[in-house]
Amino acid sequence: MTSQLFTPFSLRSVTLSNRIVISPMCQYSAVDGNATDWHTIHLGHLAMSGAGMLIVEATGVELAGRISAGCLALGSDENEAALAQVLSHVRHHSSMPLAIQLGHAGRKASSQLPWLGGRSLSPEAGGWPTVAPSAVPYQEGGHVPQALDDAGITRITAAFVDATRRAARLGFDAVELHMAHGYLLHQFLSPIANHRTDAYGGSLENRLRLPLEVFAAVRAVWPAEKPLGVRISATDWVPGGWDIEQSVVFAQALKNLGCDWVDASSGGLSPQQQIPVAPGFQVPFAERIRRETSVPTMAVGMITEPAQAEEIIARGEADMVALARGFLWNPRWPWHAAAVLGAQVDAPKPYHRSLPAGAHRVFG
């Protein structure tokens, strides 16, 4: 039987050779938002994994939108030039489609590196002012963000547009807008973070307004033949917060604007979240959004085994599966999945001799 995980999947003009996607993974190794040699090594070896698509880590549309001082940005010519150099090396050795995740951290910006605690930085420690839909801190004792006014909202939208134009010049095959994990656009969606009383707060229609405006503005400047997707948190895992029912409405609105996939994650908005972590715990979100809106979905979250990923695709629970930590632990995950499922992947010819004696012929 042909493995469904290893069948092609098309998103506009981009065809993935299989349904395996490498999720964006923050590396906290940029300098002033600029990619470094670390990104060449990190993205280079992942691009040889045989996955269907690689998404570059969450990249701030402006410096103030970075999660930490070590995060990538794409808001200046310097940022663009540094990333161009990395991409030229990666593309020289791999034809894998490359995407980039663009976002703004909002009130969760100006954070310490995770291995140093990850808490918000004071100005004395190198922190910077943050913005949000409302002047509500992420956690008790955290810094209080500035509530965005109309001019600020216009500026943020323009920053997304500018970063998208830069991504187009860099030749990325796809863009994913980050509207999850408690970052700025998710903050506008959730009533936990959004206490506004104007056109951008209150009702569901109002809370959807800015994320949909940003998406529409980006879609207008992103090449029509290239796919544009969105990562959402399907639920806050907090009573009274954002939930799957609202996510389905949001996904339908995104589809109407030309969204090509929804990457269904969850959580990240509140320290009060209670997440029932287990293998595949977020897959039902991708399945429901796909079933009720017909928009293609990516399933994410503790997908670690080839048989598990195969089942998700074969059952129609999602169109793609995206792994993050699994690729850090095993950068050749698709090779090993292909061996288990009787499929084939692309791999650099110098590596073909790595196949164990007597093993299924994995390399095409």
Residues labelled catalytic: 183
Q: What share of the chain is helix, strand, coil (3-state, %, to 5)?
A: 35, 15, 45
Strands (E) located in 44-121:
53-60, 98-103
49-59 in b/e burial notation, b at 16+ Cβ within 10 A? bbbbbbbbbbb
From the CB of residue 203, how many other CB atoms can be counted at a distance below 10 Å? 10
DSSP for 134-146, please give it: SS--SSTTSPPPE
For residue 224, the SS3 value is coil
Contacting residues for 175 by C-beta, under 8 A, at least 6 apart: 99, 100, 101, 102, 164, 167, 218, 222, 226, 227, 228, 229
